[in-house]
Structure 1
Amino acid sequence: MGSNGSPSQIAEGTEQVEDRQKTVNKPPQLQDVLRHACPSSSKARLLSTFKNILERENCDFMWVTKEWRPQPVTQHSRTRSTAQIRQDVFASPKMQHTVEELSQQNGVPKEALWQELNEILVEMGHTQTMPVVRWFGYVLSKIMRKIYNGVYVNEESITRLRARVGNNPVIFMPSHRSYADFLLMSYVCFNYNIMLPVIAAGMDFVAMWGVGRLLRDSGAFFIRRSFGNDKLYWAAFSEYVQTLITAGENPIEFFVEGTRSRTAKSLCPKLGLLSVALEPYFTGQVSDILVVPINISYDRTLEETLYSYELLGVPKPKESTSGLFKALNVLDEQYGRIHIDFTEPISANNFFGDLRSPKLLRPLHLPHQITAGESSRIIWLANHVVRQQQKHAVISLFSLAAVVITHHSLTKPRNQLLKVQELTKEVALLKSTVESLGGLLDCRENLDVSLREALQIHKSLVHLSEDGVVRLKNVATQAAVAVDPTKLKGHNLQDKTLQVGVPMVMLQHYINQTLHLFICPAMICVAVEHSIKQGSGLKDDIFAKYQFLRKLLSHEFILHSAWEEMDFEESVFQLKALQVLDESLREPQKLCLGQNTKLFQIISHLLLPFLSGYSNTCKVLLETPAGKRVNLNDTLKLAQERIEKLLLNSHLNHHYSLSLDLLTAAVSSLSAMGSLSKHKENGKVSYSVNESRLIQVSQVLEDFFQMVAHSVRNPQEEMARQLVTREKARL
């Protein structure tokens, strides 16, 4: 590593590091949460418990006109009209206090503030009109029957949910990969006679003629993406959400990730709306709240091509009704199956009960100030929700095929074609691996039949020729390539970069659906190989390197710091069971490579685009003149430009390194690790480089990247070397 700092020294220098012993000294109920978060401790899930709700005895018309007697959320809830909800917000002590305070502070008449508040609530408010809901359900049924092979719901999870609902407010928290997510939630609730949720939606849809009204009448309430310093809007928003919680009329639904994930990876959770929704519990207005994480898994994502362009810097088109009609060409294609799974409901009492005082006294007109203990625990809950969503994913065989196709393109000569027989063999290896890691795969027939079905669903991206050769298609369109350069979010990439980059980024979208299972094993594989190359192999050294990688990728994946040691031990156990790793016979505290060198390489290579993108971001930042501050957009453009040159010169070969989400996460991580200092002035964010610190991180990161890149360029040589290294280490 040189004298500039080992991974352990760099890891210990970050603000996020906690003493390893602190991770085990958590309250008893959170130890239970940790146990539930371990894949090996959860009950095995079976595809047989999922039922296709599009297959029903009654026709769609009979289904949508059925008698509507939903299971109530709470026994004593009262049904309110939109106007009554507004009146309750107006009458709340907190709202009265806010208006009084803002009037005095800003010299604005209270009447003007009340008028502004009314306009905010009218813009925000939902209606949920059952005739509209029924009509919408009928249309959705027809659309879904045309483009999907089924919408499969885990009925065991529905039974579990029903048993817990009835006494306390409920919050639904689905994963968010597509615009279709919140429509599906209402559709499923209607099918199972569960009270329809009231859904937090972005303001993007309000301006869409007809669509905004339709969504509002289906239960959506609209909130702005950011409030800035608008205290009146914040008060109106929080009071609107809290009156929905305390009244207990409907489940409230929102996405803890905040926005759709363009990458198909889980996004780091946003805490604002969750904190607001939990306030009635902290203040004793409700005795408990049930939080229900939900996973929605898609065989094929409707927005797959659009997401690929967005990640490469081509801005998404503005939401509009005309754009919606133009997008109806999706009705001509097949998108496979959707799987929906409700996880075990989480009681707020189990997470926060020890923090809540039974004699809590608080002025009703003042908002609850979140304590440090509550804030820390909310972070726990948010991360636990996302991890539960991940654990309940149903993974398509195409995601494994995407891993194999990408790995083949990186490690094999261009003239070496990928045959479907080889693809099937490699997918079989990954299938058994995913299942051993706790994942549930959508494989209903024998593997060969199911894989060919998966390839057929993705025929717009992957072509299977008559002679059994699997090839990526060129899906880049001239219209997207010819976008106005001034509107690009990143560097103006060349056409030939986009021709290769768009399909590769689309392929990575499906690889990313599996990475919650592979990310910790991948970091450990890389750490083990690096440690062995340095002559160590000791578990403590490997753990220090793993810590460094984990902190580096903490804005890329859901890697809550409190789970650091637990994830390490769990993943080492799994890798040994898979014969990817082994223990030294003479020194039990040493790890060495196992017999399964093929799987070791596949897992390690999953980190390549991230190590590449992060390493080149470091190099761009190190070229910043001393004392100069840089902004995020300029950094992203320079990093993309640098990576494109390396790709065109064949010094790099993974186009996902160009992803703006990846490069943005790199900047966030470097800031969190102390390599950058963040400044905010007049609402604008800039960064200054802490050169010595950035050099340390960059050197360690470059070591990891070059090691993995060499293995990608020379896979056979590396496999032979690893076998020799393994035998030496074992003895």
Structure 2
Amino acid sequence: MQTDALGLPSALAEVDTKDIHETSAMIFLKDRRTESANGHVPRLERLIQACLENPELKINLVPVTILWGRAPDKEESLFRLLMADEWESPSKAKQLFNIGVMGRDTFVRFSEPKDLQVLINEAKAQSPDRITPTITARLQGYLDKQRTSIVGPDLSDKRNVAGAILSSPEVMRAIEKQAAETGKPIAAVKAEAQGYLSEIASNYSHSVVRFFDHFLTWLWTRLYDGVEVRHFERVRALAPDYQIVYVPCHRSHVDYLLLSYVIYKRGLRIPHVAAGENLNIPVLGDLLRSGGGFFMRRSFKGNALYSTVFKEYVHSLMQRQAPIEYFIEGGRSRTGRLLPPKLGMLAMTVNSYLREPAKPVAFIPTYISYERIMEGATYVGELKGKPKESENLLGLLKTARKIERIFGTVHLAFGDPLYLTDFMAKFNVNPTDASDDNVKNTHAMVQNLGVKVMQNINKAAVVNPVSLLALALLSTPNAALDEAQCLEQIRLYQHIAQALPYDADTHVTDMTPRQILDYGVQLKLIERTPHILGDMIRVADKQAPLLSYFRNNILHVFIIASFLAALVQRNGRIHRDRLDGITELLYPFLQSELFLKMALRNIADHVHQVLNLLIEQGVIVDLGQGVVGSPEGNSQAYQKLIVLASPAQQSLERYFMALTLLSKQGSERLTTEQVVNLCYVVGQRVSVLHADDLPDMFDKALFTSFIDTLVRVGYVSIDTDTNLLSFDERIDRIAEFAKFVLQPDVMQVLTHTASLSDDELSLAMASMEKKRKFGRG
């Protein structure tokens, strides 16, 4: 029995003491066979009476939740899924079925013991004439709370939920407003709202969830070597008392199913997941909807009624305390970097709580990484300008079925939770204050919360073997290294990540460098080429653009070390003060691009720590008098420096593409779109120059993010009438630092492109617009 496993007295044993004489230690709160005429449970009444007569008597009541057919770590037949426990009281036939067929497949959870004397004292204070009913209700509340955390809130009556949403004051006002504006009858507009709700709402079914359990167990076993999960205990501890909002990064369509699967297998209620309308297709859409998915359009613009219905649906989920999940990036990252957060769903969550607080809200940033990704080739094509393909999950699984290569291990880590009440206190947000100042504070809070979510996702990063291989090999001109050098480079990366951990949550693979190489060969990502002077390790054919995705997953962990290596390698020798100055100038852009957790005010100390570590490893040399430099040019240490410098070099090249272009063209000459498009063209050229075909150099999202950061930090402003970018001489001063950062060949390309005449600019813009119209740009 479960009591034996936990070291508790048997629930079936007789209880016989001076004050208590009971045939067993079990109390059923809902048992029509034994309850008294007043609806009370006789055994509980007797125990309460014994405690009232003897205040020294110590009795602990242990709430126990038993769910038939809800054992998340066991497999079941599809037929038995239909008989699993939900909220409805089972019929006698179902009870017999549960005992006879599912008796070995139950889920039992013991809560913390409750001191009956304490419960009695609390009941006396609350309602002295109703001690037994008060305690019974309290105990039932404990059980309901535990059941809610396992199977979720009672959502069995979907019609009541829909009716409550459509009759809410907010939706009714939106219906009346649209009817007045369009001249349609109220009934017609309400029917339209009903249609929107049907399009949006989930239709949760425990049976379908259990079906997914079987199917996904089979699928993961077929596709992956395993799913490694970290820090789930955080979620388990918070689930009973907090409104849980999962905010994962978005790498693949597989994310939708993976996170829910992991949560379910660990015994918690799967979240309601916000999914894009592109997945709301026949059969698949119904399955996802039954698994807790709800659907949203990409844009609410121009449809106030739809927007109101959707917000009210989210509010209903919050009020029913259903866990929620949404991908804060909005869409899947095509580069492996985190995308800037889309704040719409975050704002809806916050506003729902401010409007009508229920449980306190805990956001769970969640890091997901793969070692192979199904959509990889599609992502690379889109970055190179191919039209975005209309993808869906069925197409993805069909593709996966055709791929014979293994996909390695999936890594999922639950980051440090963020508590909404903490942010409300920090930004002085008052739920009852409708003033303009409070609205501004709320807006600022949501923006800050979005950034913190991204930073905490990155803090939970997993430095997996594929990412380390990509980081080492893609930093060489031909994506190849001598095997001994490759092993040393991987060892250096592991030492950096372990000696100066990015964060306590960051995990570094415990594979040895040799095991990492063998693993890469096994995954067919790299090849070993025998040679008389020593084997060479190279990236397998056509894998370099795909591997850049996995390198970018962990770039933030090594970016400061890479940045310092790039500055030292480019200059040969450089004073520490100049390193500090350049770092302080450029760190805001690195921080914005990679969602680095370190504040600018603390970066100088961190730079000194990293620099000293690199000196200790022999990658950088301390020349004395505050000057550091490169090792000897033909040394192994210098080769390590070059490889270490490469990732940051590519980021810096992108920055100075935009800065040099702005500086040469002048203020109020270009719009953001024009700068991004020109940088895209230059990036393609630089990528050819490097002969690496890596998509990072022509990712428009990265250039757009850089311009946004220039605006945010005050270097650039945008004219509201013309959309032209205006700036002062500070841009010129920053652009001058390019000579300390970029290689001469790259500088030449940038200088030439940045100095285009007006006619050449117009021609380039016209050419790009033509390509865009024909779906090639």
Report the TM-score when normalising by structure 2: 0.69
Alignment deviations for residues 520-566 of structure 1 (CA, whole Å, 9 cap, x no partner): 344455567889967x532xx54442232123345422147x82223
**Of the candidates 527, 550, 568, which is equivalent to residue 510 of structure 1?**
550
Question: Residue 113 and residue 622 in structure 1: after superposition, are their counterparts in 2 closer, same or farther (change >3 A)?
Answer: farther
Counterpart position of 2:682: 642
8 Å CA contact 2:203–2:292 kept in 1: the answer is yes
Equivalent AA in structure 1 for residue 311 of structure 2: S
* 2:312 alignment counterpart: 239
Contact 1:605 1:708 (8 Å CA) reproduced: no
- Residue 127 (structure 1) aligned with residue 203 (structure 2): yes
Indicate the residue corresponding to 1:350 in structure 2.
Answer: 422
CA deviations on 1:408-452 (whole Å, 9 max, x unpaired) are 326xxx9xx633333222211211112223265564554313431
* Secondary structure at 1:463 match in 2: strand
Distance 2:665 2:271 in 1: 50
- Report the Cα offset of residue 655 of structure 1: 6.0
Is the 1:610–1:662 Cα contact (8 Å) retained in structure 2?
no
Partner of 1:607, secondary structure, is: helix
**Residue 218 of structure 1: which of 279, 291, 294 is its match?**
291
Q: 1:141 aligns with which of 199, 217, 232?
A: 217
Structure 1 residues 112-121 or 611-620, which shifts more?
A: 611-620
Unaligned runs of 5+ in 1: 1-54, 476-502, 711-731
Higher mean displacement: 667-676 or 330-339: 667-676
**Match for 1:546: what amino acid?**
T
- Measured in 2, the distance between the counterparts of 1:181 and 1:545 equals 39
Contact kept in structure 2, 1:128 and 1:217, CA below 8 Å: yes
Q: Residue in 1 aligned with 2:646?
A: 605
Distance 1:510 1:144 in 2: 20
Q: 1:230 to 1:68 in 2, by over 3 A?
A: farther
CA–CA distance in 2 between the matches of 1:404 and 1:134? 42
Give SS of 1:266's match.
coil
Structure 2: distance between partners of 1:197 and 1:700: 49
Q: Shift of residue 694 of structure 1?
A: 5.0
Answer with 652-661 or 283-292: which moved more: 652-661
| 1:520 equivalent in structure 2 | 560
State whether structure 2 residue 229 is matched by structure 1 residue 153.
Answer: yes
- SS of equivalent to 2:554: helix
Partner of 2:521: 455
**What is the aligned counterpart of 1:665 among 705, 713, 733?**
705
| Residue matched to 1:165 | 239
Taking a change above 3 Å as real, the CA distance of residues 269 and 568 of structure 1, as seen in their structure-2 partners, is: farther
1:37-76 equivalence runs, <5 A: 67=106, 71-73=147-149
Confirm or deny: 8 A CA contact 1:550 1:559 kept in the other structure: no
Conservation of the 8 A alpha-carbon contact between 2:242 and 2:360: yes
Counterpart selection for 1:371 from 439, 453, 473? 439
In structure 1, give the amino acid aligned to 2:446: I
Residue of structure 1 aligned with 2:381, choices 306, 309, 312 = 309
Which consecutive unaligned segments of at least 5 residues does structure 2 have? 1-71, 85-104, 109-145, 632-636, 748-777
Amino acid at match of 1:115: A
CA contact (8 A) 1:609 1:655 kept: no
Distance 2:236 2:476 in 1: 46
Could you say which residue in structure 1 is the equivalent of 2:496?
A: 433
8 Å CA contact 2:653, 2:742 repeated in 1: yes
Amino acid in the other structure paired with 1:310: E
* Counterparts in 2 of 1:707 and 1:452: CA distance versus 1, 3 Å: same
Which one scores higher on RCO, CA 8 angstroms, separation ≥ 6?
Answer: 1
Letter in 2 for 1:449: Q
Q: Which residue of 2 aligns with 1:388?
A: 456
**1:597 to partner: Cα distance:** 5.9
Q: Distance in 1 between matches of 2:362 and 2:738?
A: 42
The Cα shift of 1:165 comes to 1.8
Superposition TM-score, scaled by structure 1 size: 0.72
Query: Is this contact kept in 2: 1:527–1:546, CA < 8 A?
Result: no
Residue 371 of structure 1 aligns to a residue in which SS? helix
Q: In the alignment, does 2:764 pair up with 1:700?
A: no
Kindly report the root-mean-square deviation, in angstroms, between the aligned alpha carbons of the 2 structures: 4.0
Check whether the contact 1:313–1:660 (CA below 8 A) recurs between aligned residues.
Answer: no
User: Residue 720 of structure 1 corresponds to which residue in structure 2?
Assistant: none
Aligned counterparts, 1:160-559, within 5 A? 160-206=234-280, 208-248=281-321, 250-320=322-392, 323-324=395-396, 326-329=398-401, 331-353=403-425, 360=432, 371-409=439-477, 418-438=481-501, 443-457=509-523, 459=524, 461-465=525-529, 468-475=535-542, 503-525=543-565, 537-538=576-577, 542-559=579-596
Deviates more, 1:339-348 or 1:258-267: 339-348
My pick for the range that moved more, 231-240 or 189-198, is 231-240
Change (3 A) 1:675 1:400: same
Q: Is the 2:470–2:548 Cα contact (8 Å) retained in structure 1?
A: yes
Which deviations, in whole Å up to 9, do the C-alpha atoms of 1:78-105 show, x marking residues without a partner? Answer: 4354333322222222223333344445
Q: Secondary structure at the match of 2:391?
A: coil
Structure 1 residues 679, 117: closer, same or farther in 2, change over 3 A?
farther
Contact in 2 for aligned 1:608/1:709 (Cα 8 Å): no
Give CA-to-partner distance per residue, 1:499-528, whole Å, 9 cap, x none: xxxx43323212112212122344455567
In 2, Cα distance between equivalents of 1:649 and 1:511: 21
Cα distance in 2 between the residues matched to 1:62 and 1:75: 19
Count of aligned residue pairs for this structure pair: 605
CA distance in 2, matches of 1:675, 1:549: 12
Deviation, 1:124, is: 0.7
Shift in Å at residue 575 of structure 1? 3.3
In structure 2, give the amino acid aligned to 1:189: I
For 2:447 and 2:627, how far apart are their aligned partners in 1? 33
Match of 1:615 in 2: 656
Aligned equivalent of 2:171: 95
| Paired residue type of 2:538 | R
Matching residue's letter, 1:615: F
Change beyond 3 A, Cα 1:508–1:702:
farther
Amino acid of the structure 2 residue aligned with 1:303:
E
> Alignment partner of 2:527: what SS?
strand
Secondary structure of 2:476 counterpart: helix
**Post-superposition offset of 1:122:** 1.0
Q: 1:442 to 1:642 in 2, by over 3 A?
A: closer
CA–CA separation in structure 1 for the residues paired with 2:630 and 2:692:
28
What one-letter code is carried by the residue in structure 2 that aligns with 1:143?
L
1:356 Cα deviation (Å)? 6.1
Tell me the SS of whatever aligns to 2:475. helix
Conserved 8 A contact 1:89-1:239: yes
Any conservation in 2 of the 1:264–1:509 contact (CA below 8 Å)? Answer: yes
Secondary structure (helix, strand or coil) at the match of 2:389 reads coil
CA separation in 2, counterparts of 1:609 and 1:151?
32
- Contact 2:196-2:306 within 8 A present in 1 as well: yes
Q: Is the Cα–Cα contact under 8 Å of residues 297 and 395 in structure 1 kept in the other structure?
A: no
The letter of the residue matching 2:539 is L
Structure 1 residues 420 and 82, CA, compared in 2 at 3 Å: closer, same or farther? Answer: farther
The residue type paired with residue 282 of structure 2 is W
Kindly provide the CA deviation profile for residues 643-694 of structure 1, in whole angstroms up to 9, marking residues without a partner as x: 444555669996631233333334434554666654678xxx9544658665
- In terms of mean alpha carbon deviation, does 542-551 or 239-248 score higher? 542-551
Give the 3 Å change call, closer, same or farther, for CA 217–695 of structure 1 in structure 2: same
The answer on whether the counterparts of 2:570 and 2:742 sit within 8 Å (CA) in structure 1 is no
Letter aligned with residue 132 of structure 1: V
